[in-house]
Amino acid sequence: MVRQGTQPLNDYLRIFEALNDAVERLGKVSDSPRLDAELLLACALEVQRSYLFAHPEDEIDPAAAIRFESALKNRINGMPMAYIAGEKEFWSMPLIVSPATLIPRPDTELLVEQVLIRIPQRAEWKIADLGTGSGAIALAIAKERRLCHVTATDISEDALSVACENAQLLALPNIEFSAGDWTTPIAGSVFDLVVSNPPYVATKDPHLAALQFEPTLALDAGKDGLDAIRRLAESVPDILRPGGSLLLEHGFEQAPIVSDILRRSGWCNIALINDLEGRPRVTAANRSRDRYTSYSS
Q: Round to the nearest angstrom and report the end-to-end CA distance of the chain.
A: 69
Rounded Cα distance, 16 and 14, in Å: 6
For ligand GLN, give the closer residue by CB, 2 or 211: 211
Quick check: 199 binds ligand GLN (CB under 6 A)?
Answer: yes
- Site stretch for ligand GLN (CB under 6 A), options 43-51, 56-64, 91-99, 195-203: 195-203
> Which positions from 245 through 264 interact with ligand GLN, judged by CB under 6 A?
none
Q: How far apart are CA 59 and CA 53, in angstroms?
A: 13
Element (H, E) at 60: strand 59-60
Site for ligand GLN in 103-142 (CB under 6 A): 105
Q: How many residues make contact with ligand GLN (CB under 6 A)?
A: 8
In DSSP terms, 282 is beta-bridged to: 249, 273
CA-nearest of 77, 18, 21, 78 to 42 is: 18
Q: How far is the CB of 149 from ligand GLN (least distance, A)?
A: 24
Residues 217-236 that bind ligand GLN (CB under 6 A): 219
The span of 12-20, 37-45, 112-120, 199-207 binding ligand GLN (CB under 6 A) equals 199-207
User: Looking at 201, 232, 247, 258, which residue binds ligand GLN (CB under 6 A)?
Assistant: 201
E strands present in 158-219: 175-179, 191-196
Listed ranges 148-156, 163-171, 173-181, 192-200: which one lies at the site for ligand GLN (CB under 6 A): 192-200
Rounded CA-CA distance 148/140 in Å is 12
Report, in Å, the least distance between residue 3 CB and ligand GLN: 41
Counting contacts by CB under 6 A, is residue 41 touching ligand GLN?
Answer: no
Distance CA(281)–CA(260), nearest Å, equals: 15
Nearer to ligand GLN, 47 or 232 (CB): 232
Nearer to ligand GLN, 137 or 186 (CB): 137
One residue of 95, 200, 237, 285 binding ligand GLN per CB under 6 A:
200
**Cβ neighbours, 10 Å, residue 154:** 30
Give the up-direction half-sphere exposure of residue 11: CA atoms within 13 A in the CB hemisphere: 2
Which residue in 114, 197, 235, 283 binds ligand GLN (CB under 6 A)?
197
Q: How far is CA 125 from CA 110, 149, 244, in A?
A: 20, 6, 10
Residues that bind ligand GLN (CB under 6 A): 105, 197, 199-201, 207, 211, 219
